[in-house]
Amino acid sequence: MEFATIDYVVFAAYCLLIVCVGLWVSREKKGHKKDAADYFLASKALPWWAIGASLIASNISAEQFIGMSGSGFRLGLAIASYEWMAAITLLLVAWFFIPIYLKKGIFTMPQFLEVRYDARVRTLLAVFWLLVYVFVNLTSVLYLGALALKGIMGVEMLTGIIALAVFAAVYSVYGGLKAVAWTDVVQVAFLVVGGLLTTVLALNAFGGGVGPLAGLGRLIEEVPERFNMILFEDELLYTDDKGVVQDAYDLLPGLGVLLGGMWIANLFYWGCNQYIIQRTLAARSLKEAQRGVAFAAYLKLLLPLIVVVPGIVAYALHAPIDAADEAYPWLLNEYVGPGLKGLAFAALIAAIVSSLASMMNSTATIFTMDIYRNYVSKGASEQALVRTGRLVALACMAIAVCLAPLLSSLDQVFQYIQEYTGFVSPGVLAIFMMGLFWKKATANSALITALLSIPLTWSLKWLFPGLPFLDRMGIAFLISVALIVAYSLIEGKGRESGKGISLGSGLLRADPLFAALAFGALGISAALYALFW
């Protein structure tokens, strides 16, 4: 891609703005030193709009811009289920999960598991999360981001990986969650405006220059098979990067998407995921947390227009690319003109570095609060905890930098993330759901389920190799729930656990404004599915 001078100016201004905002909000009053609540929970002072913006900036990354566009290229609009169902999931989490988390006053998701079960469950799940964040999330975001840099600017893969890692670390390692959350407000503005810009220009070009709406109409008319939300067996076949014909049903198994495994993926991600929930734990109040999540839900409804439709446009234009994940960079090269490329590119980089910063901070939070404070230095001072968090963030990023180039052999990295996270998520979600809403669940049943989580999903993959991974996740979740119920009833003889959570006294009562926003988002989601069924 050839950048004009104005493109370099826009992109440089964006980079400078993010670093300056991050360092500015990280300042401390004279005589005050950051403690754990300051560093890991932004002093518990985030308003709703910062929470909503940070949720989306943390969630949307290269895996969406690059990976989901690649899946849009292969699978069409059906991949948007991850976004539209996420909007519904966010509302459920805000209504039923977040009030309990905030009442418990926790820093981390593993800490909740100790409050509800015991220290063994907390430690085991902390290790699970650390492995997933470093070896799946951080690594894949770095790789996809570097792939974008290579496709757009010709930057070598390793150079791009290092550059992204350094950029994310510059402002986030020192400032912690406060720096991450407040820069995310700026990042999400670039992300939405710049992302929509690419979609609008591509649709306008596809429609012959008569406007993006005309382009969208023509796109639906010319490739109608790419606008089906529910795919059935043999309905959509595609050829992957290795020349092998694949059935899209294997990745998005029909009604199983609406009724099965995707709920597991979404509830795990939005309801039990440290670098997502951490924003709501930092809210000023429950009301601010719920309204922030509702704001994020509406942004999720918009996102397929930014991250999926470009991939469909690239498919309709017969993009001459070697891998599906090259669709978005190709589109940016071909259809975003001089003077606007800097803004569109800034949107992509904003998505990448905001997610990297969030993952770094949350990985550091889990290690520091769940491992270091409990097993390495039980009497550590507040400043020692902050210092440890910074060092761990850097160490995790360094590991991810070394591993990221190894992902270059994959076709759709977004699907890699979903499937391999899916080896952990069914069991973990079962432990959380039963802990939150069933008082008889015991610590031993949770521990056994956690230990069997990965072996169970691997066994299902081995026994039923043709079973779509989303269906496999649904089955693994049901087995995990059954295991917790059976073991708890045998061990506890039907008695309630002493650590069961009481849901009385209006704990799950929602703010009226949040309730109104929630029903509005649900109506929009239903209309979208009815339109593109």
What's the pLDDT tens digit per position in 104-131?
A: 888 899 999 999 999 999 999 999 889 8
Residue spans per domain, the chain? 42-412+511-531, 422-501
* 441-453 confidence digits (pLDDT tens): 999 999 999 999 8
Tens of pLDDT along 297-341?
999 999 999 889 999 999 999 888 888 878 888 888 888 877 777
Supply the pLDDT for residue 367: 93
What is the per-residue pLDDT for 105? Answer: 87
Q: Answer yes or no: are the C-beta atoms of 61 and 352 closer than 8 Å.
A: yes
The number of residues making up the chain comes to 533
| pLDDT attached to residue 417 | 66
CATH superfamily of 42-412+511-531: Sodium/glucose cotransporter (1.20.1730.10)
CB count within 10 Å of CB 185 equals 19
Count of alpha carbons within 13 Å of 341, Cβ hemisphere only?
A: 22
Q: What is the pLDDT of residue 394?
A: 93
Cβ–Cβ under 8 Å, residues 42 and 183: no
Q: Is the pLDDT of residue 135 over 90?
A: no
* DSSP 3-state percent helix, strand, coil across the chain (nearest 5): 75, 0, 20
Closest CA to 483 of 457, 460, 444, 449: 449
- With bands split at pLDDT 50, 70 and 90, how would you rate the model's confidence at 242? confident
User: Quick one: 17 exposed, middle or buried, by C-beta within 10 A (0-12, 13-18, 19+)?
Assistant: middle
Beta strands at 245-247 and 237-239: parallel, antiparallel or unpaired: antiparallel
Residue carrying the six token digits 């802990």: 435
What is the pLDDT at residue 193?
83
Taking residues 209-238, what's their average pLDDT? 87
The tokens for 102 are: 């905030």
The pLDDT > 90 percentage for the chain reads 33
* pLDDT greater than 70 at residue 411: no
Tens of pLDDT, residues 477-529: 999 999 999 999 998 877 777 788 887 666 777 788 999 999 999 999 999 98
Confidence of residue 2 (pLDDT cuts 50, 70, 90): low
pLDDT at 506: 67
For 520-526, which contacts have Cβ atoms below 8 Å and span 24 or more sequence positions? 521/87, 521/88, 521/91, 521/294, 521/297, 521/298, 521/301, 522/88, 522/91, 524/301, 525/84, 525/85, 525/87, 525/88, 525/301
**Helices (H), ranges, 234-285:** 255-259, 261-272, 274-281
Greatest CA separation found in the chain? 73
Residues linked to residue 46 through DSSP beta bridges, in sequence order: 283
pLDDT at residue 414 tops 60: no
What percentage of the chain carries pLDDT values higher than 70?
95
pLDDT in tens, 369-407: 999 998 988 888 888 998 999 999 999 999 999 988 887
Q: Any idea what the Cα angle at residue 50 is, between residues 48 and 55, rounded to 5°?
A: 95
Question: What is the distance between the alpha carbons of residues 258 and 192, in angstroms, rounded to a whole number?
Answer: 27
What's this model's pTM, rounded to 2 decimal places?
0.88
Give the model confidence (pLDDT) of 48-105 as tens digits: 999 999 898 888 876 677 778 888 888 889 888 889 999 999 999 999 999 999 988 8
List Cβ neighbours of 96 (8 Å cut-off, separation of 6 or more).
436, 437, 508
Angle at 449 between CA 446 and CA 450, to 5 degrees: 85
- Dihedral over Cα of 418, 422, 425, 430: its sign: positive
Predicted local confidence at residue 69, as pLDDT = 87
| Terminal CA-CA length for the chain | 37
pLDDT digits (tens, 9 = 90+) for 351-360: 788 888 888 8
Q: Which amino acid is at 213?
A: L
Q: What is the pLDDT of residues 3-34, one digit of tens each?
A: 778 888 888 888 888 888 888 887 776 666 77
Query: Which pair of structure tokens corresponds to residue 160?
Result: 């791009």
| Residues 418-433: tens digit of each pLDDT | 667 778 889 999 999 9
